Structure 1
Amino acid sequence: MLNAPLYVKRTLSDGKKITVGTLAENKNGTYFQYDTTYLQQHPTSLAPFNLKADLTLQKAPKHPHYGLHGVFADSLPDGWGLYLMDRVFRKHGYNPQLITALERLAYIGDQCLGALSYEPEIQLTDPDTADVNLMQLGKEAIKEFEGTESHLIEHLMNAGGSGGARPKMNVTQCSDGRYSTHPDAIGKKLIVKLTSEKFALKHAESLVEFTYMTMAKNLGIEVPEFALIDAGDGQFWLQQTRFDCTDKGRYHMISASGLLDASFREPSLDYVDLIKATRLLCNPDEARKMLKRALFNFLTVNQDDHAKNFAFLADDNDQWRLSPFYDVVYSPSPYQEHMTAFHGNGRNPAKALEQMAGQAGYSSVKPLLEMMEEIYSETRNFRTRARHLGLPEHLIKEIGQQIDARWKQIQ
């Protein structure tokens, strides 16, 4: 389908689109080269740790990003979005096994998270301008996720081709408060996270995540704006503002997976290294924010803390900062270990506190102990908030006991 190189574009915060460089592939791999004009205006790299800011031809590693450079692999969706993409390819007579990573980027075009986009785009059909009702499309997405094929597969792909293994939709809240599922709608850009009986927390997941984000916000941890959407039948979906979007344009975004060439499908990171990377990319203040998030994840049993659940944003002058905290929810691992380890230990950060403190610029572990006490104190309100939202009592009890157990581990 793709017979020419791909041009990588970047949308700035004011909506202006500029050429970053070119991607091309052959039987030996995928290669990227920066545009001369881009480097004159932006002398630092889109991916400072693994992509040189020069005019050399740079080959992507074969692993772990489908043979792509990590920063471009971030533009592709994960489990849910890839599933939808493959459904669309099959519908139009293409074998997904034969679709290259660059062809997938060309199909995504400008519907990526973050500021990057790809030209020329591959369009399998004429663009459908229909705007499907949020509730209708969301329920179709859940049906598809649970095994019943939807006739709105292209609409689901247009709205749901974002990151993550579970169904979600990129939607727009218009000035009149109405939700639009059309990708070109004007207004506040949101991600709506759906629920399913197939989730470990079933339809309670959005309520738990809402409670967790409330706790994080109360602790001074930056989170996106968030709210619950009543989906009927006692079910709620969670909406969050897209922090990669401005009123007119985008911020460049890279995940820890893309930044460090780390797999997000298996344990591949350590918080000591992640805090260090944050300090080097951003500054010590941002490293301390990352540290607090690590401790929050431990105490609240958010063990699905893989490499794509941390991200960084760059403004138009390529100044980096941590993105708001996201995917913050109770997610115990069947192995009882975090995807991101604490100095090699997936279960307990106690022996990693000194190293974590040092990478964040602290001279002792005292600030970390104070952070943990502050976080645990905030979790004391979990049960009350959860009951107010109507969470099942057995789940409230389980989460409360697990949080208490983590607190006892570090005493």
Structure 2
Amino acid sequence: MKLNVFLHAYGRRCQVGLLYEENSRIFFEYAPDFLASGIELSPFKLPLRPGVFEDGKYTFDGLYGLFNDSLPDGWGCLLLDRKLRKQGMRYDAITPLHRLSLIGHNPMGALEYEPADAGDDTILPVELDSLSGEVENILDGKDSEVLDELLKLNGSSGGARPKITAYVSQDRKHIIHGGAVCPSGFTPWIIKFTEKRDGNGFGELEYRYSLAAKMAGIVMPATHLFPSRLGKGYFGVERFDRTPEGKVHVHTACGLLHASHRYSCLDYENLLKLTTILVKDRPQVEQMVLRMIFNVKSGNRDDHSKNFSFLLDDKSHWQLAPAYDLTPSAGINGEQTAMVNGKGRGITDADLIVAAQTADIVAKELRLMLDRVNAAIAHYRLC
């Protein structure tokens, strides 16, 4: 199987290269014109140079992290698996390149893959409460009459929690989906559904987390609690990989470093070093420190490598992406997924200071950040 890879960022589209599979091995080669562009899409694991690349370590089933970032996680994989089973196949039995072809032009970020499954561009309204019931059917293992619609709405958004990608009006009263171009007066959003095990207040809780993060000084996209007749509401966040000028290239720490999010393989010192090297901007390094403090203090232990991302701007400069997935989580055995000063639990302010000092953030600066985070958490009663 062969796939042409394109970059469609800020309204400009160009071929990146060719992915192909031979004898169960996956190879990639940059297109000559893209080599001449000087655009580094994945500087550590897939540097811009001629020749054929192969990831012999198979961290992501043979895919490089650049392309693995295009694939969905738990919820999206479940939807695709249900669709494929109706066709006599299973998601875990098809090749990674086949999975990318199913995503086609609709992954998170700005990469696109061809040949791709054809999509339907019909624009339709979204009724969240109705879709919530269909989500429960899927999670309970039942058939859903709107499986195709849920697949289209999911795009390739990451994370295990059920969600949709949709267009939301400026007054946030109207939600629609469909169409390759965002209609005038609307912006692209991700809206999450609540699972039964979480109770009907989880959306409202994630919304409060987002407000507390903003109060603490953490950069986040716009967030909103969409109303529901069935519970306290659905949490929504505006997409940072879409702008009025077009799509934005996104790369997770997981994909950049080939550090699988399924394991505790990164600590905050690694993330601070990555931000320092890639972004080269002290205020953004300070942002990563703030996220470390917020996650530890607020009880968000699901701080794995896919929950930190970087954006490539229209001048081909890397920026730290806005924060996302800030929610309470017990973690594995009650530990932070990203360790601090070698510790996964029982993390003290002294540990946070030691970690921050690896990025030249002195104790006095960190204590001011601690005060801001603690005040925000107390204001929104997160702990």
What TM-score comes out, normalization by structure 1 length?
0.86
**Match in the other structure for 1:215:** 212
Report the alpha carbon displacement of residue 138 of structure 1 after superposing the two structures with TM.
3.7
Instruction: Encode CA deviations 1:56-85: one digit per residue, 9 max, x unaligned.
Output: 211124433222100100000001101111
Contact 1:158 1:183 in 2 (8 A): no
For the residues of structure 1 that align with 2:28 and 2:350, how far apart are their CA atoms? Answer: 41
Report the alpha carbon displacement of residue 204 of structure 1 after superposing the two structures with TM.
1.5
Give yes or no for the alignment of 1:69 onto 2:64: yes
Report the alpha carbon displacement of residue 38 of structure 1 after superposing the two structures with TM.
1.4
Bigger drift between 308-317 and 138-147 goes to 138-147
For the residues of structure 1 that align with 2:240 and 2:115, how far apart are their CA atoms? Answer: 26
For the residues of structure 2 that align with 1:146 and 1:235, how far apart are their CA atoms? Answer: 22
**Match in the other structure for 1:197:** 196
Report the alpha carbon displacement of residue 25 of structure 1 after superposing the two structures with TM.
1.3
Contact 2:120 2:178 in 1 (8 A): no
| Counterpart amino acid of residue 35 in structure 1 | A
Alpha-carbon spacing, 1:195–1:246, altered in 2? closer, same or farther (3 Å)? same
For the residues of structure 2 that align with 1:83 and 1:98, how far apart are their CA atoms? Answer: 13
For the residues of structure 1 that align with 2:159 and 2:57, how far apart are their CA atoms? Answer: 22
Give yes or no for the alignment of 1:35 onto 2:31: yes
Report the alpha carbon displacement of residue 258 of structure 1 after superposing the two structures with TM.
0.5
State, as a whole percentage, how many aligned pairs show the same letter. 33
Contact 1:103 1:122 in 2 (8 A): no
Give yes or no for the alignment of 1:81 onto 2:80: no
Report the alpha carbon displacement of residue 174 of structure 1 after superposing the two structures with TM.
4.5
Alpha-carbon spacing, 1:93–1:28, altered in 2? closer, same or farther (3 Å)? closer
Instruction: Encode CA deviations 1:6-52: one digit per residue, 9 max, x unaligned.
Output: 11111121x221111111112252111111111212x1421111111
| Counterpart amino acid of residue 196 in structure 1 | E
1:169 to 164, 174, 183: 164
Give yes or no for the alignment of 1:134 onto 2:127: yes
Which runs of 5 or more structure 2 residues have no equivalent in the other structure? none
Give yes or no for the alignment of 1:6 onto 2:37: no
For the residues of structure 1 that align with 2:39 and 2:101, how far apart are their CA atoms? Answer: 25
| Counterpart amino acid of residue 18 in structure 1 | C
**Match in the other structure for 1:252:** 249
**Match in the other structure for 2:48:** 53
**Match in the other structure for 2:18:** 22
Alpha-carbon spacing, 1:203–1:357, altered in 2? closer, same or farther (3 Å)? same
For the residues of structure 2 that align with 1:92 and 1:164, how far apart are their CA atoms? Answer: 25
For the residues of structure 2 that align with 1:240 and 1:353, how far apart are their CA atoms? Answer: 28
Bigger drift between 141-150 and 312-321 goes to 141-150
Report the alpha carbon displacement of residue 369 of structure 1 after superposing the two structures with TM.
2.0
Which runs of 5 or more structure 1 residues have no equivalent in the other structure? 384-398, 401-411
Report the alpha carbon displacement of residue 354 of structure 1 after superposing the two structures with TM.
4.8
| Counterpart amino acid of residue 377 in structure 1 | A
| Counterpart amino acid of residue 129 in structure 1 | T
SS of the equivalent of 1:17 reads: strand
| Counterpart amino acid of residue 318 in structure 2 | W
**Match in the other structure for 1:303:** 301
Contact 2:279 2:318 in 1 (8 A): yes
Contact 1:244 1:252 in 2 (8 A): yes
For the residues of structure 2 that align with 1:265 and 1:146, how far apart are their CA atoms? Answer: 24
For the residues of structure 2 that align with 1:70 and 1:24, how far apart are their CA atoms? Answer: 16
Contact 1:105 1:118 in 2 (8 A): yes
| Counterpart amino acid of residue 360 in structure 2 | G
Give yes or no for the alignment of 1:152 onto 2:146: yes
For the residues of structure 2 that align with 1:326 and 1:70, how far apart are their CA atoms? Answer: 20
**Match in the other structure for 2:327:** 329
Contact 1:8 1:118 in 2 (8 A): yes
Instruction: Encode CA deviations 1:78-134: one digit per residue, 9 max, x unaligned.
Output: 0110111111111123243431000100110011000111011134xx747372533
Alpha-carbon spacing, 1:379–1:350, altered in 2? closer, same or farther (3 Å)? closer
**Match in the other structure for 1:111:** 106
Give yes or no for the alignment of 1:317 onto 2:315: yes
After superposition, the CA RMSD in angstroms is 2.0
Give yes or no for the alignment of 1:379 onto 2:377: yes
Alpha-carbon spacing, 1:61–1:230, altered in 2? closer, same or farther (3 Å)? farther
Alpha-carbon spacing, 1:308–1:51, altered in 2? closer, same or farther (3 Å)? same
For the residues of structure 1 that align with 2:235 and 2:303, how far apart are their CA atoms? Answer: 19
**Match in the other structure for 1:181:** 177
Alpha-carbon spacing, 1:157–1:32, altered in 2? closer, same or farther (3 Å)? same
Contact 1:342 1:349 in 2 (8 A): no
Alpha-carbon spacing, 1:132–1:144, altered in 2? closer, same or farther (3 Å)? farther
Number of corresponding residues = 375
After TM superposition, the runs of 4+ consecutive aligned structure 1 residues lying more than 3 A away are 126-130, 174-177, 349-355
User: Equivalent residues in 2 for 1:271-282 (5 A)?
Assistant: 271-282=268-279
